[in-house]
A and B are shown apart, each in its own frame.
Chain A
């Protein structure tokens, strides 16, 4: 087993472990930290795949913005209420069963070879000349998909406005 492959296995295991830790941790803060570790492992996987842009964005946006916000809110609402004392809801057993079914179904789908047949697999060998490097990627991105890029800024603006509206309405109702 070569180095990159070993690293791949390592990161995969790490992300899975992070996910499992999330399930069992009690304090939401610990849950958030487990999630962060999962995300960083995933970023590592992306980097190993050669998709550097995405890896960087994963860390910057996901961990750096989303999870920070989440951590901030967890610290803000440090509620020791019933959800802290009782981690799991009422539907734990049926949920686990059904999710296992789902996982089995998905695994079977993945392993059956229907998702990508052998011929199709043979056609692709990996990125042709590392087209996911930052420069070629961004050039192509902003040349072909510039409209989508601009629309995302509109989406973010809408999100900001909505967030303010929600908070302000809440404040008016409470005040």
Chain B
């Protein structure tokens, strides 16, 4: 069987096996199938990667199935494996397998164990379709599919209506973005007659400009990306998505699904290179989202919500890189972010597990000595995200800042400045999280404190692996590896001498954030609470997440509800449809009532009518011969 098709189908097999048989065959079977198949997919991906390098850098293409033939064009389910897809596939299957193994420990006591692994495998299947798809169509199938899997997994504990509502919110917000994606797809097909990525890139990079505005398509596809990757204005679902199990948050909402938008833009770099307006928009939205989310993260009190806003912020960084033309650098950040964010989320999961369900950091503290493995791995990942050298985050974030400053394709000092402030805030709130959770004196209540215990090796082992990757992963310069596919932008010659000072400045910023966090939060919440009392308005604004949800509710939610209730339900459904049906029925009834007055029960009247018929018949027969 073809290698790429195998990679995609292995998780699907896992979904079917666990979904149909898992509940009956027990947790052992589910764990082996649920973790084993992704691991096999990872090994297959490694094998394909080996073949790729040997094939002189050309991409592997496999057509699995011809779905439809319309005119000259055939819509195939085809897979395309070049350096970018190789990297994404390895991240998805690699980090995915690790998180599956973690889940065996975390979800051990959950009654719906089989359903969880089935959904998780389903997600992997769709994600692989997304990153391996050769055409926008297959990618879109994967895109929708991961949205579905995300909905199923966020609302995994659906008996709680709030959790189910969070799942619904994620799906609907994604759908809004998907409208943009679809429109972009339609325009591309109409202009080019094909949806294959390589053909699209070649068309836009070729000598003849296609008959559609690259910026328009770029913006439409980016709208889809904002939905999936939680950028402004469609970011509202990601914090609510923390209602799902923590490994789900790690896999889907940190390492893989939310990077789909980044992947899409990077994959279509041929188009975005000739769409400067769209790229500018992407850069601005990216940096604005990064700053915006970082400010909210500073005041969050739920450990997972801090990480959620952190994810939104880091995604903003990736879009900033994409917007200034440094596609390879953005993918580099995807790669490093997968490691440290997954480590952070899984570490948070370990903390929640240790505390028996507590998620509020105001009620934590002093855990460093009691769950040491979790603490050390969490600390390494925190340092990585803050950009401290020589950990992975330093390399990727630094490249982003440099290209934001100096890229010929849209870099500007303003973008760099906002990004740097955001980096400062990132360091600050991440170290705040670390300190409040682990290092300050304990604020736990006695019951919880008694039961604090380190997580089993299925969980801590994965944490260790991810922490090591966060530490050394940055040494593999992905953006250089991807250069043949995505060339790096030119940097302004005049500014090149500023590269080293900017690096040093970035490190200083990271350490400054660390220092500020230590200063404010050492010893507990007292100093923070004093600050809060001094700036009550600001604190309220940030705690209320800038009231975006409330704004959407007022501007969109309530009018929609009003229209649905007044116009569609009362007027349309009840009065028009039901009314016309009832009207028809009552019309029939009334007509029947009037007509039945012909039947008086009077025998002689019936006779008269019969005679009338006879006379008429006679007349007719007479006239017609």
- A/B contact in complex, CB under 8 angstroms: yes
A91-B608, A95-B608, A109-B622 are known contacts. Are A102 and B614 too (CB-CB below 8 A)?
Answer: yes
What chain A residues lie within 8 Å of B615 (beta carbons)? 98, 101-102, 105
What chain B residues lie within 8 Å of A90 (beta carbons)? 602, 604-605
Residues in B526-556 with C-beta less than 8 Å from chain A: none
B70 is an interface residue with CB less than 8 A from chain A: no
Whether A98 and B608, one on each chain, are in contact in the complex, defined by CB atoms closer than 8 angstroms, is yes
Residues in A57-111 with C-beta less than 8 Å from chain B: 89-91, 94-95, 98-99, 101-102, 105-106, 109
What chain B residues lie within 8 Å of A106 (beta carbons)? 618
Residues in B228-253 with C-beta less than 8 Å from chain A: none
Whether A98 and B604, one on each chain, are in contact in the complex, defined by CB atoms closer than 8 angstroms, is no
B619 is an interface residue with CB less than 8 A from chain A: yes
B64 is an interface residue with CB less than 8 A from chain A: no
A102-B614, A105-B615 are known contacts. Are A91 and B604 too (CB-CB below 8 A)?
Answer: yes
What chain B residues lie within 8 Å of A102 (beta carbons)? 611, 614-615, 618
Interface size class, chain A? 10 to 19
CB-based nearest B residue for A104: B615
B498 is an interface residue with CB less than 8 A from chain A: no
Whether B614 and A89, one on each chain, are in contact in the complex, defined by CB atoms closer than 8 angstroms, is no
What chain A residues lie within 8 Å of B618 (beta carbons)? 102, 105-106, 109
> Chain B nearest CB: distance from A95 CB in Å?
6
A89-B604, A91-B605, A95-B604 are known contacts. Are A105 and B622 too (CB-CB below 8 A)?
Answer: yes
CB-based nearest B residue for A89: B604
B584 is an interface residue with CB less than 8 A from chain A: no
> Chain B nearest CB: distance from A8 CB in Å?
28
CB-based nearest B residue for A105: B618
B612 is an interface residue with CB less than 8 A from chain A: yes
Q: How far is the CA of A101 from the CA of B608 in the complex (A)?
A: 12
Q: How far is the CA of A109 from the CA of B621 in the complex (A)?
A: 11
Binding site secondary structure of chain A:
helix
What chain A residues lie within 8 Å of B604 (beta carbons)? 89-91, 95
Residues in B595-612 with C-beta less than 8 Å from chain A: 602, 604-605, 608, 611-612
What chain A residues lie within 8 Å of B608 (beta carbons)? 91, 94-95, 98
What chain A residues lie within 8 Å of B611 (beta carbons)? 95, 98-99, 102
Q: How far is the CA of A54 from the CA of B391 in the complex (A)?
A: 131
> Chain B nearest CB: distance from A141 CB in Å?
32
What chain A residues lie within 8 Å of B619 (beta carbons)? 105
Q: How far is the CA of A109 from the CA of B618 in the complex (A)?
A: 10
Q: How far is the CA of A154 from the CA of B619 in the complex (A)?
A: 39
Q: How far is the CA of A102 from the CA of B618 in the complex (A)?
A: 9
What chain B residues lie within 8 Å of A89 (beta carbons)? 602, 604
Residues in B50-100 with C-beta less than 8 Å from chain A: none
What chain A residues lie within 8 Å of B614 (beta carbons)? 102
What chain B residues lie within 8 Å of A94 (beta carbons)? 608
Q: How far is the CA of A129 from the CA of B614 in the complex (A)?
A: 39
What chain B residues lie within 8 Å of A95 (beta carbons)? 604, 608, 611
CB-based nearest A residue for B618: A105
Interface string of B305-330 (1 = CB under 8 A from A): 00000000000000000000000000
CB-based nearest B residue for A101: B615
> Chain B nearest CB: distance from A108 CB in Å?
8
Q: How far is the CA of A90 from the CA of B604 in the complex (A)?
A: 9
Q: How far is the CA of A91 from the CA of B605 in the complex (A)?
A: 7
Q: How far is the CA of A4 from the CA of B225 in the complex (A)?
A: 116
Q: How far is the CA of A90 from the CA of B619 in the complex (A)?
A: 26
What chain A residues lie within 8 Å of B612 (beta carbons)? 98
What chain A residues lie within 8 Å of B605 (beta carbons)? 90-91
Residues in B575-625 with C-beta less than 8 Å from chain A: 602, 604-605, 608, 611-612, 614-615, 618-619, 622
What chain A residues lie within 8 Å of B622 (beta carbons)? 105, 109
> Chain A nearest CB: distance from B248 CB in Å?
80
> Chain A nearest CB: distance from B298 CB in Å?
97
What chain A residues lie within 8 Å of B602 (beta carbons)? 89-91
> Chain B nearest CB: distance from A93 CB in Å?
11
Q: How far is the CA of A95 from the CA of B606 in the complex (A)?
A: 11
> Chain B nearest CB: distance from A96 CB in Å?
11
Interface string of A14-36 (1 = CB under 8 A from B): 00000000000000000000000
Q: How far is the CA of A86 from the CA of B611 in the complex (A)?
A: 23
Q: How far is the CA of A94 from the CA of B605 in the complex (A)?
A: 10
Q: How far is the CA of A95 from the CA of B619 in the complex (A)?
A: 18
Interface string of B434-453 (1 = CB under 8 A from A): 00000000000000000000
Q: How far is the CA of A106 from the CA of B615 in the complex (A)?
A: 9
Q: How far is the CA of A97 from the CA of B622 in the complex (A)?
A: 20
Q: How far is the CA of A122 from the CA of B133 in the complex (A)?
A: 102
What chain B residues lie within 8 Å of A91 (beta carbons)? 602, 604-605, 608
What chain B residues lie within 8 Å of A98 (beta carbons)? 608, 611-612, 615
> Chain A nearest CB: distance from B46 CB in Å?
97
What chain B residues lie within 8 Å of A109 (beta carbons)? 618, 622
Q: How far is the CA of A98 from the CA of B619 in the complex (A)?
A: 13
CB-based nearest A residue for B605: A91
> Chain A nearest CB: distance from B619 CB in Å?
7
What chain B residues lie within 8 Å of A105 (beta carbons)? 615, 618-619, 622
> Chain A nearest CB: distance from B616 CB in Å?
10
> Chain B nearest CB: distance from A161 CB in Å?
27
CB-based nearest B residue for A109: B622
CB-based nearest A residue for B600: A90
> Chain A nearest CB: distance from B571 CB in Å?
51
Q: How far is the CA of A94 from the CA of B607 in the complex (A)?
A: 12
Q: How far is the CA of A108 from the CA of B602 in the complex (A)?
A: 31
Q: How far is the CA of A109 from the CA of B612 in the complex (A)?
A: 17
> Chain A nearest CB: distance from B320 CB in Å?
96
CB-based nearest B residue for A108: B622
Q: How far is the CA of A101 from the CA of B611 in the complex (A)?
A: 10
Residues in B250-271 with C-beta less than 8 Å from chain A: none
CB-based nearest B residue for A94: B608
Q: How far is the CA of A106 from the CA of B611 in the complex (A)?
A: 13
Q: How far is the CA of A105 from the CA of B618 in the complex (A)?
A: 8
Q: How far is the CA of A102 from the CA of B602 in the complex (A)?
A: 21
Q: How far is the CA of A101 from the CA of B616 in the complex (A)?
A: 10
Q: How far is the CA of A101 from the CA of B617 in the complex (A)?
A: 13
CB-based nearest A residue for B625: A114
Q: How far is the CA of A109 from the CA of B622 in the complex (A)?
A: 8
Q: How far is the CA of A106 from the CA of B617 in the complex (A)?
A: 12
Q: How far is the CA of A105 from the CA of B619 in the complex (A)?
A: 8
Q: How far is the CA of A98 from the CA of B607 in the complex (A)?
A: 11
Interface string of A125-145 (1 = CB under 8 A from B): 000000000000000000000
Q: Give 12 CB contacts A-B under 8 Å.
A: A90-B602, A90-B604, A91-B602, A91-B605, A94-B608, A95-B611, A98-B608, A102-B611, A102-B614, A102-B615, A105-B618, A105-B622
> 9 other contacts beyond A90-B604, A95-B611, A105-B615, with CB at 8 A cut-off?
A89-B604, A90-B602, A91-B604, A91-B605, A94-B608, A95-B604, A105-B619, A105-B622, A109-B622
The 8 closest A-B pairs by CB, nearest first: A89-B604, A105-B618, A91-B604, A102-B615, A91-B608, A98-B611, A101-B615, A95-B608
